[in-house]
C-alpha cells in the first residue's frame, strides 16, 4: 500500500513536470526570432499603411473663410462675396463666388455733387453681406472697394470730388463688422491684369503649362485687353510679369480710357454732331444717327449728354438737338471707326491711338459688357460675317416694333444695343485686329463655374496672397499609385500573417512532440 502511494506520487510528479515543460516550450514558441521578426514587420506595415492613408486623405472640414470685393464701375456698383475652405486657402480652384448684389442706382462717380449719397447707396447690399456671412467670421472677412474708369474720369476732372466720394464709401464700409482694407481707384493696367488672373484661375489654367486664356473686358468707360503674346512687348507701359504656381507669365495689357461702350457712344455722337453743326447753323439741330433704329427720336442737350472729360477734343456749343435714328448698319460702323485714330504708330504694330499691340494670339474670354450685349442679341456663337448680317437686320428694325417686341426692357438700354454691338464688332475687328479666321477663338462668357468673369476675384486673390508663386502642395502620390500601393502592401501583410500563423502552428506541434 505504501509502495503504491509512492508510485502514484512519483508518476504525478513526473506528469506535472511534463506539463510545465510543455507549457514552457509552447510559450517559448512565441519568443522565436522568426515570430518576433514577422510580428515587427506586420506591425510596422500596418502603421505605415495607416499613416499614408491619413496623409493621402486628409479630411475636409467644412469651415469657410470669406472675402468681399466691391466693383465700383462707371455705370453701377456690384458687391461680390467669395468663400473658400479655411484648410485649403492656397490651393487652386478652391475660391468660389458665394453671392453677388447689384447696388441700386448709378456708379459712385455720379455722386460727385452729393458724396454722402455714394456711401449710403451701398447699405442695402452690405446688409445682405452681413446676413450671408456667418457672424463669427465677420471680424476676419476682408472688404475691398476698387473703383474703375468712372472714378478715373472724375479724378481727371475734379480730384477733390473724387476724394470726397471715396471718403464717403470708406466711412460707410467701416461701419460694418468686417475687416475694412481700403477703397481706391485701380489703374487700367491693374483692371486688365486682375481680369486675366480671374479667368485663368477659374479655368484652372495657371497650373497647366499648355496655355492661358486672353482677357477682353468692356465696361461703360474703359475697355481692357490682356494676353500672353508670341512676340516681344515693345512698350514697357504695356508689360506686366507674374509668377503663379511656379510658372512665369509675361503679359501684354492695355486699358483704353474713354472707350467703354457708354463713353464711346458719346464720342461717336459727338463726332456726328460736330460735323452737323459745321454744315448747318440752324437751331434746333438734328443729329441723324445711323446707329439708332429708324423712327427713334429724342430731344437732347449738349450739356447733359456730353459732360465728360472724354469729349475735350470735340468742339460743341451748348445747344438742344434732336437725336434721330436711321438704322443704317454700314454707316454706323463707319461712324464708329472715326473715333479710332489709326494715323500714327511709332512701334512695329499698333491697335489704335498709337498704342503698341502685338498680334492677338490664343483663345480669349470676352466678359462684362462684351457678353451682356452679344448675349442679348444672341450673337455669342456666330461667325464674324454672320454677326454682321444679323446686326444689319437688327439695326434696321423700326423703333416702334422693337419696343413692342421688348416691352419689359428699359428703353434707354434697348435703344443703344445696335450701337453697342456694332461698337464691339468694330473694336474687336478694327481695333484689336481679330479677323474671320480667329473670331472663333473669342468666347463670350458671363461665368466660369459659379463665379462671374471679371477683375474682382483676381484683385482679392492678389491682395490676400492666395495665389502662391510656387506650385501648391499635391497628394503624397497619384490616386492610381496610392490604390496600387495599398493593395500590394495589404497582400504583403496578409502573406506575412499567414507565414506567422503556419510557423507558430508548426512550432507548437514540434513542442508537443518533444513532450511526448
- 161 with 271, same domain: the answer is no
How many domains are there within the chain? 3
| Same domain? 370 vs 404 | yes
Do 53 and 162 belong together in one domain? no
User: How confident is residue 371, by pLDDT bands cut at 50, 70 and 90?
Assistant: very high
Residue 192 lies in a domain: no
Are 131 and 164 in contact, with CB atoms under 8 Å apart? no
- Are 101 and 165 found together in one domain? yes
Report the CATH number that the domain containing residue 106 is assigned in CATH: 3.30.420.40
The pLDDT assigned to 24 comes to: 46
Judgement on whether residues 16 and 109 belong to the same structural domain of the protein: no
Q: Is residue 193 part of a domain?
A: no
Highest mean pLDDT among 51-55, 324-328, 478-482: 324-328
466 found inside a domain? no
48 & 96 share domain = no
Q: 228 in a domain, yes or no?
A: no
Q: What per-residue confidence (pLDDT) applies to 481?
A: 66
In a domain, 367, yes or no: yes
**Residue 31 falls within a domain, yes or no?**
yes
Buried b (16+ CB within 10 A) or exposed e, 260-294: bbbbbbbbbbbbbbbeebeeeeeeebebbbbbbbb
Select, from the ranges 48-52, 205-209, 489-493, the one with the highest average predicted confidence (pLDDT): 205-209
The CATH number assigned to the domain holding 402 equals 3.30.420.150
Are 471 and 84 spatial neighbours (Cβ–Cβ below 8 Å)?
no
Q: Which domain holds residue 19?
A: 2-58+477-515
Examine the fold and report which residue of 442, 465, 497 is the final residue of a domain before the chain moves on. 442
Is position 471 within any domain? no
Q: Indicate if 311 and 349 belong to the same structural domain.
A: yes
Query: Does 415 have pLDDT greater than 90?
Result: yes
Domain closes at, from 185, 206, 229: 185
Closest CA to 474 of 60, 95, 58: 58
- Known catalytic residues are 191
Kindly provide the residue ranges of all beta strands, DSSP E only, lying in 54-134, ordered along the sequence. 64-72, 77-85, 96-102
Q: What is the pLDDT of residue 94?
A: 76
pLDDT reported for residue 480: 64
pLDDT digits (tens, 9 = 90+) for 86-119: 765 555 447 899 999 999 999 999 999 999 999 9
- Judge if 377 and 505 occupy the same domain: no
Last residue of a domain, one of 168, 185, 202: 185
CB 154, CB 476: distance < 8 Å: no
Amino acid at each position: 500500500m505504501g509502495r503504491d502511494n509512492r508510485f502514484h506520487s512519483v508518476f504525478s510528479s513526473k506528469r506535472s513536470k511534463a506539463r510545465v515543460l510543455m507549457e514552457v516550450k509552447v510559450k517559448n514558441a512565441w519568443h522565436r526570432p522568426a515570430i518576433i521578426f514577422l510580428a515587427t514587420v506586420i506591425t510596422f506595415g500596418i502603421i505605415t499603411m495607416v499613416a499614408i492613408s491619413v496623409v493621402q486623405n486628409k479630411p475636409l472640414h467644412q469651415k469657410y473663410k470669406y472675402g468681399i470685393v466691391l466693383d465700383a464701375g462707371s455705370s453701377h456698383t456690384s458687391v461680390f462675396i467669395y468663400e473658400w475652405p479655411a484648410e485649403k486657402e492656397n490651393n487652386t480652384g478652391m475660391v468660389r463666388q458665394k453671392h453677388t448684389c447689384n447696388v441700386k442706382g448709378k456708379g459712385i462717380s455720379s455722386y460727385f455733387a452729393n458724396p454722402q449719397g455714394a456711401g449710403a447707396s451701398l447699405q442695402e447690399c452690405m446688409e445682405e453681406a452681413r446676413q450671408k456671412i456667418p457672424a463669427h467670421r465677420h471680424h476676419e472677412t476682408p472688404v475691398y472697394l476698387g473703383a474703375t474708369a468712372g472714378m478715373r474720369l472724375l479724378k481727371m476732372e475734379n480730384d477733390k470730388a473724387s476724394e470726397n466720394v471715396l471718403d464717403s464709401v470708406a466711412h460707410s464700409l467701416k461701419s460694418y463688422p468686417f475687416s475694412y482694407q481700403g477703397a481706391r481707384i485701380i489703374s487700367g493696367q491693374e483692371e486688365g491684369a486682375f481680369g486675366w488672373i480671374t479667368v485663368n484661375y477659374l479655368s484652372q489654367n495657371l497650373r497647366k503649362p499648355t496655355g492661358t486664356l486672353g482677357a477682353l473686358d468692356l465696361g461703360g468707360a474703359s475697355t481692357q485687353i490682356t494676353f500672353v503674346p508670341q512676340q516681344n512687348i515693345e512698350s514697357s507701359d504695356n508689360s506686366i510679369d507674374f509668377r503663379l504656381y511656379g510658372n512665369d507669365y509675361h503679359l501684354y495689357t492695355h486699358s483704353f480710357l474713354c472707350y467703354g461702350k457708354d463713353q464711346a457712344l458719346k464720342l461717336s455722337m459727338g463726332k456726328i454732331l460736330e460735323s452737323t453743326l459745321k454744315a448747318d447753323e440752324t437751331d434746333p439741330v438734328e443729329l441723324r444717327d445711323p446707329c439708332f433704329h429708324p423712327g427713334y427720336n429724342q430731344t437732347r442737350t449738349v450739356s447733359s449728354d456730353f459732360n465728360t472729360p472724354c469729349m475735350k477734343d470735340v468742339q460743341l456749343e451748348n445747344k438742344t438737338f434732336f437725336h434721330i435714328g436711321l438704322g443704317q448698319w454700314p454707316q454706323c460702323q463707319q461712324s464708329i471707326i472715326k473715333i479710332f485714330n489709326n494715323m500714327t504708330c511709332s512701334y512695329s504694330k499698333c491697335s489704335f491711338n498709337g498704342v503698341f499691340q502685338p498680334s492677338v494670339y490664343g483663345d480669349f474670354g470676352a466678359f462684362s459688357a462684351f457678353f451682356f450685349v452679344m448675349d442679348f442679341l444672341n450673337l455669342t456663337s456666330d461667325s464674324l460675317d454672320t454677326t454682321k448680317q444679323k446686326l444689319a437686320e437688327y439695326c434696321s428694325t423700326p423703333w416702334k416694333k422693337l419696343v413692342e417686341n421688348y416691352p419689359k426692357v428699359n428703353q434707354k438700354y434697348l435703344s443703344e444695343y445696335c450701337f453697342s454691338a456694332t461698337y464691339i464688332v468694330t473694336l474687336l475687328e478694327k481695333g484689336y485686329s481679330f479677323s474671320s479666321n480667329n473670331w472663333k477663338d473669342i468666347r463670350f462668357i458671363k461665368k466660369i463655374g459659379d463665379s462671374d468673369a471679371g477683375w474682382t476675384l483676381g484683385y482679392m486673390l492678389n491682395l490676400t496672397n492666395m495665389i502662391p508663386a510656387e506650385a501648391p502642395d499635391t497628394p503624397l502620390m497619384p490616386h492610381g499609385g496610392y490604390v496600387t500601393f495599398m493593395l500590394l502592401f495589404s497582400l504583403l501583410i496578409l502573406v506575412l500573417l499567414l507565414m506567422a500563423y503556419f510557423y507558430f502552428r508548426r512550432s507548437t506541434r514540434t513542442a508537443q512532440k518533444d513532450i511526448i
